[in-house]
Structure 1
Amino acid sequence: MNSNTSWIMSSRSTGNGGSCVEARRHEGHVEVRNSKAPEAGTVRFTTEEWDSFLFGAKRGEFDGLLVD
């Protein structure tokens, strides 16, 4: 079964002038890239790493990194 998906953009990215993060499932991993510079490459996570990141983000673990 092919688990590859198309690139998806965060719904939070639409109102900031095009600076967007995109993600997709590819070859058993999750890849993330900057939509303004896709040729710059991707960051690749295992599904376990990605799930842990999302869980932490939902719990507010990274709120201290927010820029005003």
Structure 2
Amino acid sequence: MFDLSKAAWRKSSFSTSGGNCVEVAPLADGRIAVRNSNAPEAGTVLFTRAEMDAWIRGVKAGEFDDLA
């Protein structure tokens, strides 16, 4: 297990006041951690930079617009 206690978590400025948000944190080994800020104890998903890049490009291209 990777120690995430000192990770620099950050949220999108688009997060709602109701707490609907996801947090991300860059890790020292180059991966990116993602978690639900309402339930951080529920777990964290780790992505490589290449995986996160593919996701971000897909979001920007509108590939996931039907999910919002």
Tell me, in whole angstroms, the C-alpha distance in 2 between the residues paired with 1:65 and 1:46: 23
1:17 aligns with 2:18: yes
TM-score (norm 1): 0.81
Q: Which of the two has greater strand per residue?
A: 1
**CA displacement at 1:19 relative to structure 2:** 2.1
RMSD: 1.6
How many residue pairs get aligned? The number is: 62
Q: Which of the two has greater helix per residue?
A: 1
**CA displacement at 1:30 relative to structure 2:** 0.6
TM-score (norm 2): 0.81
Q: Which residue of 1 aligns with 2:54?
A: 52
Structure 1: 4+ residue segments shifted above 3 A = none
Q: Which residue of 2 aligns with 1:36?
A: 38
Gaps of 5+ in 2: 1-5
Gaps of 5+ in 1: none
